[in-house]
Amino acid sequence: MNDLVIVFPGQGSQFTGMGRSWFDAHESVRDRFRQASGIVGYSLEELVFTAPTAELTKTSHAQVALLVLSHAMYEVVSADRKVPVAAMAGHSLGEITALLAAGALDFEDAVRLVKARGEAMQICATENSTGMIAAVGTPVAEVERYVAEVNADGHRVQVANYNADRQTVLSGTLDELKVMTAHLEDRGCKVVRLNVAGAFHSTYMEGAVAAYTRVIEEIDVRDPAVPVYSTVTGRVYGSAQEIRDALAVQLTSPVRWSTVVAALAEREVGLWIEAGPKQVLKKLIAGAVGGDTVHSLDEGTEEALAALDRFIERKRREPGLVGLCMGAAAATRNRNFDEDAYAAGVVAPYRRLQELGRLDKDEVTEEQRRTALELLGTIMTTKRVPEPEQRERIASILRRTGGAGLETSTGAPTG
């Protein structure tokens, strides 16, 4: 259980007064609010803390406010800590916050992007009498079957959010959702109507795509510094171009949050932290993996920070990637008794590993980590370790150290 995952909430987590304690206590949060206000052309502070709730809940306003507050909260936490984040993810809008926190976007570009996203979605929603409902407590496969039954009569109800095994959100026209609600309730399903302005994450949002895509094409997008999971595909983004492509179709594609959580859980996550208001994602994740390792910065802040500090201290005491490579090299049984080959392929590489091992593990560069893995590969090959065993040992080291993306000369899978 060695990975730390940071997640960011999407629209629906906003409420008047959210983040007040963070705003009052931290100059960096106030700075982000002021910076964003200059970009969007209105006072974010007034919107969040004093404006009528109806103003904050507008799609064009809520998305900017959530992005800025969630990111500012994460910045506070990481400002005076070396936070060993293994991966990030976000629900819908929160995915853009994750990309920002991971370094794929600049703050100004992220605010511009979300402003355009919210405005385009709001305009599209006002042009159609649409909405969303949640089917709660019913397995996804059953909900999908019931949707297919309703759509067989000519309706266009669509799955918008795969939130959990037993929480599925549907989009459609208000008339269609009335039919869908009755169909679900007749079959014993619990249905909750969501207080949203439109049929998000469905083809009913096609009218918002062009304006949003124009801004995507204008901003600078980079490869993230840490892995970020796409809720469009359920997989880690592989490149900046993949980010652009996924963002362009995100408005009309379902949010595959349960798929993302399942993929992250395979990383042996030791700590999940939700950075943003409320604890919507904390509850969803806890329902899937158990609640002992899941925390929210907004509700239970001190508990979350204490858990984070304990995690950081534990990681500090653990050997880094180079140390694990040295341990694996020393523990590997030798099957090669050619002295010259042993000197060249084991002794010399191990001495180079020892040199790398003298560095602070937090200061080791990606290139040096890659070198350490290659040296271990050389040692194991020289010792005639079977390739499947080599792959497993290196994969284990990468799992323990969050080394996704590194490649080795052994051709071992790297996460």
Q: Sign of torsion, CA 319 322 324 329?
A: negative
Question: Does 201 participate in catalysis according to the annotation?
Answer: yes
The catalytic residue among 91, 155, 183, 201 is: 201
Strand order in the sheet with 3-8: 85-90, 3-8, 269-274, 294-296
Contacts of 85 (CB under 8 A, 6+ apart): 4, 5, 6, 226
- State which amino acid sits at residue 138: T
For residues 292 and 68, what is the distance between their CA atoms, to the nearest angstrom? 28
> DSSP assignment, residue 228?
B
Q: Residue 387 is encoded by which pair of tokens?
A: 């390739």
Judge contact between 21 and 78, C-beta under 8 A.
no
Complete DSSP assignment for 23-85: HHH-HHHHHHHHHHHHHHTS-HHHHHHTS-HHHHTSHHHHHHHHHHHHHHHHHHHHHSS---E
Query: Which three-class secondary structure state does DSSP give residue 394?
Result: helix
Question: Does 92 participate in catalysis according to the annotation?
Answer: yes
The catalytic residue among 60, 92, 253, 258 is: 92
Q: Sign of torsion, CA 113 118 119 121?
A: positive
Q: Which residues are catalytic?
A: 92, 201
